[in-house]
Structure 1
Amino acid sequence: MTALTTDRQPWRLGPRGERWFDVALVAVLALPALAFLVNESVDVGVFILLETLPLLWRRRRPALVFAAIAMASLAQVAVLDLPTSGQAAFPIALYSVARYGRPAATAAAVVVGFAAAGVASWDWLKEYDETSRAAYVSYFLSMVTVVVAAWALGALGRTREAYVAALIERGERIARDAEQRVELAAQEERARIAREMHDVVAHGLTTIVVQADGARYAAATSPETAGRALATISETGRQSLTEMRSLLGLLRSDDTGTAPVPTLSDLPRLVAGEEGVSADLPGADVQVPPGVGLAAYRIVQEALTNVRKHAGPEARARVAVRVAADAVDVTVTDDGRGATAPDDGRGHGIAGMRERAAVHGGTFRAGPRAGGGFEVVARIPHKGATRGVAGGSKQ
C-alpha cells in the first residue's frame, strides 16, 4: 500500500461532507435575512437571500454562481445605500471560481471583483461630502485586498487538489506496477518449478523403466544383475522423491522448501548411477553460483534421459563438464541412433535445456553428430568460481 492510504493521508471532505458544508455556510450567511424580514426591512432581507442562496451550487457551477451573486450585488448598489451581510458571499463566490472554474472565468471574475471594489467604495462613501480622495483610495485598496486574497486562496486550493490527485494517481500506478511485478515473478517461479518437475520426473522414471526392463530379463539367468538393477531403481526412486518434496515444498504455505538443490558436486553421483556412461568431470569440485550449478546439473540429467529414451539399448554416452574462469562448459555425446532416433514430438527436454542456458545468458546447441550419435553442448556464463570439496569421475 502507498503512503496515501495510511493515516498520513491529507484530510479531505467527501461528496456528502461538501454538500453539508455548503448548506451550513449558506444557513449562517442567510440567517440575518430572517431578522430583516421580521422587522419589515424586506428589501434588505431579499438581497441577502439573493446573494447567499446561489452558494449552494458554487462547486458545480462556479462561474454561473459568481455571475448571479455579482448581479445581485450590483442591484443592491442601485437600491440600497449601505452594505449588507450578504455581500460576504461575493469573495466566497470569487474563491469558488478560482478553485473550481476555468482559468478564463477566473480572470474575468478577478476583473469584475476590481470593478466591484471601485463601485462599492464610491457608493458607500458618496454620502460624505468631506471624504477625501485618500479615504476613497484606502477603502478601495482594502476591498481589492479581499478580492486578491479570495483569488489566491482559490488558486492555492486548486493547486493543492491537483497535487494530491497526482499523488493518488502515482500511488495507484505504483501499486499496479507492483502487482504486475508480483504476477510476473509468480509466473517465472511456476515455469521454473515446471522445468524442475519435468527434469526430476523424466529422469527418475526413465531410469526406473530401463532398470526394471533389464531386471525382468536378467531375473532368470543372472539374479545378481537383477539385484543391482533393483537397487538402482530403489536409489533413483528415493532421490526423485527427495527432489520432488523439495519442489513441492515451494508450493506449500506451511513448508519452506529449503532442501538443497543439485549442484556440480552432485554430478559424479548422477553419472555413477548410469550404465554405459563415462565422465570427465574436472570441474565437479568447483563452487559456482547455485543457479549456474543447478542449470548445468539439469542439462546433464536431461541429456542422459534423452540418451536412454532415444539413443537405443546399446548406446554409450560421455559427459564432460569443465569450469572456466567465466563459464561452465557442458558436453554430452552418445553413439546411438542420432538423426534416426524416433521422436513423438511430445517432449520438452531440449526446449527446457535451452531455456536453462538462456536464463543465464548462455548458449545451447543440440543435434545429431556427423559421425553418428547425438550431441548436447551448453555454455553457461558465471561471475566467478572457487575450488571446493573434490568430486569424482567415472571413466
Structure 2
Amino acid sequence: MLAMDSITAVMLALVFGLLFGSTGSGFPGLFLSYGMGPQVFWSTAMTVPAATRRFWPQASALAFAAMAVLQLIAGPSMVFSDFLSLLLLYSVIVYGNPRNTKAFIVLASALGVLASAVIAWSSLVGPYFEPYMRPTDISSVDLNGMPECWLVYADGQFTGQCAQNLMQQTAIYAVSILSCIVATAIAAFWQRARLITIRMMQERNDALQASEAEERRIAALAERARIARDMHDVVAHTLSIIIVQSDGGRYAGAHDPAVARRTMETIRHESERALHDMKRLFGVFGGSAHADYADIDALVDQARAAAASSATAPSASSPSSTSPASSAATPASSADGTITRRVDGTARPDLLTAAASTAVYHLVQESLTNVRKYAGPNVHVVISERWTDRSLEIAVTDDGRGASATLDGHQPGYGLLGMRERVEAAGGTVTAGPQVGGGFAVHAVIPLGTAAAKPYDDPDSAMQSDPAVAPPRQSSFLAVPTKQIDSPVMPTKQTNPTVMSTERSERRHLPDPALPQIPTWAQLRDRLRSKPIAQAVLANGEPFNWVERLSQWTERHYLATDIIGTLLLTAIMCVNAISMFDGYLDGITGELAVGRFIVITTMLPLCFRRRFPEGAALAVVIVSSFQLVVFEPVLLSNLFALCALYSAVLYGRPTAWRWTGVASIGVAALFGFKVLVSDYGYASVLHWMLRSADYSANGWSPLRMLVEAAMWAGMVGAMCVGTILLARWQRSSGANALVLQAREEALQAEQAKQKVLAANMERDRISASIQAEVSETLTLVIDRAVAGIRMLDEAEARGEEPSAESIAAAFAAIGQQGRIALKHMRQLLSVLRETGFSDEAHAHDHAQPAMQLRPAVSLDEQLAGTSRT
C-alpha cells in the first residue's frame, strides 16, 4: 500500500512537471509572479503527502493543508497539485479516524474559501510587488477600458466595482471548490461504509480459517461423546435386561428346565444383538437400526417381558441377591409392575425429524432402563405423550423409590447426560428428577417440523449434535472452490457411516413423491431477491450518516440497484441511440427503432448481472451474436456487454472465465467478419448469407479489408481479455462484498466437511480398541449363556433333570459376568467422556489441558436435580 502510493506520487510529480513545461506559463501569487521553476517546485513538493495518504491519512492531510496555506501566502495562487487536496480529503475520510471526519471537512472547506479569495485577488489585483503600472500622474491616465482593480496598488484606490468583481470571482471559485469537496465527501462516505463491511467479512473469513483446526478437534471430541452415548444406549440397555433375566431365571428356572432354557436363549439372543449393534456402531452402517419413534412399542414390550421374567426374583435389598459387583449395577426387580403408554392428540411421527425421533426413542429406553435398575419392585410406569401442532411433550413417570434410589451408594453416570444431548440437539428441552410424592419423572418437549424439512438430520452422527456443524447453503450466484482433502487414515473401500446413516434416516422419513408445481409469486420473489449480506457498524459506535446508509442499502439490495441503474441507462440510450460508426441514428429508414430494440435487448440482461451473473452473460452473448448477424448498426450500448462479462467472471463460478473467454473470442471474430462483409457491400452478415448486397463495395483490396477486419476483431478481443483479467484480479484481491460472502460460505462448507472427516478419523482410531474390549465382555456373557444351555442339553441327553443348584449357578455366572461387563463398560464411557484423543498420534495434545475433553462442569452439577443414570 505504501509502495503503491509512493509510486503514484512520483508519477504525479512527473506529470505535473510535464504540464508546466508544456504550458510555459504560471499563476500569479499575492506578492510575485512565478515562472515555470517555482511552479514545478510547489507541484512536486505538494505531491509528497500523497505518498502516505493511506498509511498515515490524517498526518498526510494536515501536512498538505499546511503546505497549501504556505503556498497561498508565499507562492503561486494555484498549481496543478492543488487538486490532490480532494484525494487527501477522500483518504482521510475513508482511512482515518471517523471521529475526526467533520473536522477535516471543515478544514478543507475553510482552505477552499481561502484559496478562492487568493485566486480571485491575485488574478484581478495582481501581485503586490509587481503592479500593472505605477504612473507618476494618475490624473493624466485615461481610465477608459482599464481594469477596475488596477489602481489598488498603484494609487490605493479600491472602488466599488472592484469589490463587486472580487466578490463575484471569489464566489464562483468558492462554489466550484466546495462542490468538489461535497462530491468528494459523498464518494468517501460511500466507500468507507463499503470498506467497513468488507473488512468485517475479511475478518470473519480469517477467523474461519484460523478456527479450522479447533473445529476439527471439537468435532473429534463430539464424535467421542456420540460413541459414548450410543454405547450407553446400545450396551447398557441390553446388559440391564440380561442381568434382570439372569436374576429372574436364577429362581424361576431353578425347578423348570424349560423356563431356564427359554431364559438363557433370550439372554444369548440379546447379547448377540448387542454385539451386532456394537459392530454397526463402529462399522459401515452407523448405528442400530432399532432407534426410532416407531420402535417404542417394541421397546415397551421388551421391558414388559423382562419384568415378567424376573417376577419371581427377590428384590435387590434381599440378602440372597448380593453380588461381588458394585451395587450401582445391581438391578431392582419391577415384578408385578405395569407399563402404560398414553397418547393425547393425534400422533404425527412424520413431523419429527430423524434426530428428534431417535431422541424420543432413547429417552424412553433410558427411562425404562433406569426403572429396572433403581425403581424397586412393583413399579407402575406411565409413558405419556401429548401432541400439539407445534411440539411433542413426552413424560415417563414411575412410582418407585425416587430420591431414595441413591441410598444404595450408586454413582450418577452418563445416561441422562446423553439423553439431554440428544433432545437438545433436536431443538428440545428435557427435565428429570425425583417427584415430591415418590417416584421419578422424565419430561421432554420436542418441537415438530415439516416432513420435508430434514436436510441434515442424522441420529447416528455426532455432527448433528451440534447445529452449528450443519453445512451452510451454497450461494446460487457465486461459487468458490473448496479444498478437497483425502484422509490417509480412512480405508478407501469403507463407506462413510455418517452418509449412509443419513440416507437411511432420510429414506425412512421421505415424503411421498409429488408432481412438480408451478412456483408461486412468493417463491419467485424469494428466488429473485438479493442474497443477504452482513453489515458492519462503525468502530466508535456512532451511527452512519445518510450517505453510508445508502451505500449499505445498495450493497444489501444489489439486485434492486442493478435494475434501477440499468433501466435508467437504457432509457438514456434509447433517447440517444448512437452508432459507433455513423453517429446518431435517424428515423427515416427505421434505424432508430432498430437501434432502440438493440439497446433494450442488450441492456436488460444487465439487471441480473450480479444476481445471476453467468445467465446474464449468456443472454448478452446470444443477443449480441443475433444482433451482429441480423442487424446493420453497432451501437455504443454494445460496449456495456463488457459489464456482463466482468460480472460473470467476478461473481460466477471460478471456471466461468473459460467459457466466457471462448464466447468473447467468438463474438470478436463475428464482429471482425461483420466488418469484412460490410466492406464487400453487405449490410449485415444475414445479407451476406442471402447474397443480397444493398451497398456497393468500397473498392479496397481484399488484403486491406482482411487487415481492417482483423484489427477490429483484435480490438474487441483485447477489450474482452482486459475485462476478464480485471475481474480475475478483483476476485483475488478480496475487496468485493459478494466475493467475500461466497468465500465465507465456501469456508463454512469446507469446515463442515473437515468436521465430518475429523469425526470419522477419530471413530476409526478408537473403534479398534474399544470395540474389541466391549465385544470381549459381551462374548463372555454369550459364552456363559451357551455354557448354561450346553449343560441343559447334556443333562437332557443323559435323560436326567438338571439340579436346581446347577441351574442357579449357571444363571449366577451369567449375572455376574453381566455385572462385570456393565462395570467395565462404565469405565470405558468414563474414558471416552473425560479424556482427550485416544491414539498415540495425538499424544502431544495431552500436554495441553485445553485439548482434553472434560465436562464444562462436574457431572453432579450437570445432573443437578437427578439421582440416577
When normalised by structure 2's length, the TM-score is 0.34
SS at match of 1:328: strand
- The match for 1:347 is 413
State the Cα distance separating 1:229 from its structure 2 match: 3.3
Task: Decide whether the 8 Å contact of 1:329 with 1:380 is kept in 2.
Answer: yes
* Alpha carbons of structure 1 residues 221 and 241: separation in structure 2 relative to 1, 3 Å: same
- The match for 2:82 is 90
List per-residue Cα deviations over 1:310-331 (Å, max 9, x = no partner). Answer: 467xx45443323345543422
User: What is the 5 A alignment of 1:88-167?
Assistant: 88-97=80-89, 99-100=91-92, 102=100, 103-126=102-125, 127=132, 129-130=146-147, 139-167=169-197
- The match for 1:378 is 442
- The match for 1:11 is none
> Is 1:48–2:37 an aligned residue pair?
no
1:205 to 222, 239, 252: 239
- The match for 1:265 is 297
- The match for 1:233 is 267
State the Cα distance separating 1:271 from its structure 2 match: 1.8
* Alpha carbons of structure 1 residues 292 and 279: separation in structure 2 relative to 1, 3 Å: farther
More divergent stretch after superposition (205-214 vs 148-157): 205-214
State the Cα distance separating 1:90 from its structure 2 match: 1.6
Task: Decide whether the 8 Å contact of 1:311 with 1:338 is kept in 2.
Answer: no
Task: Decide whether the 8 Å contact of 2:395 with 2:444 is kept in 1.
Answer: yes
Give the whole-Å Cα distance in 2 for the aligned partners of 1:227 and 1:349.
Answer: 32
Give the whole-Å Cα distance in 1 for the aligned partners of 2:107 and 2:384.
Answer: 81
Give the whole-Å Cα distance in 2 for the aligned partners of 1:240 and 1:208.
Answer: 11
- The match for 1:388 is none
List per-residue Cα deviations over 1:56-84 (Å, max 9, x = no partner). Answer: 3231311112221331243234xxxxx77
Task: Decide whether the 8 Å contact of 1:94 with 1:147 is kept in 2.
Answer: no
Task: Decide whether the 8 Å contact of 1:296 with 1:330 is kept in 2.
Answer: no
> Is 1:365–2:439 an aligned residue pair?
no
- The match for 2:518 is none
Give the whole-Å Cα distance in 1 for the aligned partners of 2:184 and 2:402.
Answer: 84
Task: Decide whether the 8 Å contact of 2:403 with 2:434 is kept in 1.
Answer: no
SS at match of 2:146: coil
* Alpha carbons of structure 1 residues 376 and 144: separation in structure 2 relative to 1, 3 Å: same
- The match for 2:396 is 330
SS at match of 1:344: coil
**Residue-pair matches, total:** 349
Task: Decide whether the 8 Å contact of 2:21 with 2:36 is kept in 1.
Answer: no
* Alpha carbons of structure 1 residues 320 and 107: separation in structure 2 relative to 1, 3 Å: closer
More divergent stretch after superposition (348-357 vs 202-211): 348-357
List per-residue Cα deviations over 1:92-149 (Å, max 9, x = no partner). Answer: 2254136416433432332232222222222223349336757655643443244213
SS at match of 1:320: strand
Task: Decide whether the 8 Å contact of 1:310 with 1:337 is kept in 2.
Answer: no
Give the whole-Å Cα distance in 1 for the aligned partners of 2:5 and 2:301.
Answer: 75
SS at match of 1:330: strand
Task: Decide whether the 8 Å contact of 2:367 with 2:442 is kept in 1.
Answer: no
Give the whole-Å Cα distance in 1 for the aligned partners of 2:258 and 2:108.
Answer: 105
* Alpha carbons of structure 1 residues 241 and 153: separation in structure 2 relative to 1, 3 Å: farther
Give the whole-Å Cα distance in 1 for the aligned partners of 2:339 and 2:405.
Answer: 25
Relative contact order, higher structure (CA 8 A, sep 6+) = 2
State the Cα distance separating 1:89 from its structure 2 match: 1.3
* Residue identity matched to 1:283: R
Where structure 2 has 5 or more consecutive residues not aligned to the other structure, the ranges are: 25-32, 94-99, 126-131, 133-144, 149-160, 311-333, 449-869
Give the whole-Å Cα distance in 1 for the aligned partners of 2:303 and 2:91.
Answer: 77
State the Cα distance separating 1:155 from its structure 2 match: 1.2
* Residue identity matched to 2:369: T
Give the whole-Å Cα distance in 1 for the aligned partners of 2:37 and 2:403.
Answer: 107
SS at match of 2:342: coil
List per-residue Cα deviations over 1:284-303 (Å, max 9, x = no partner). Answer: 79555646765554344324
Q: Which has the higher strand share?
A: 1
SS at match of 1:347: coil
State the Cα distance separating 1:196 from its structure 2 match: 4.3
More divergent stretch after superposition (67-76 vs 352-361): 352-361
* Alpha carbons of structure 1 residues 220 and 281: separation in structure 2 relative to 1, 3 Å: closer
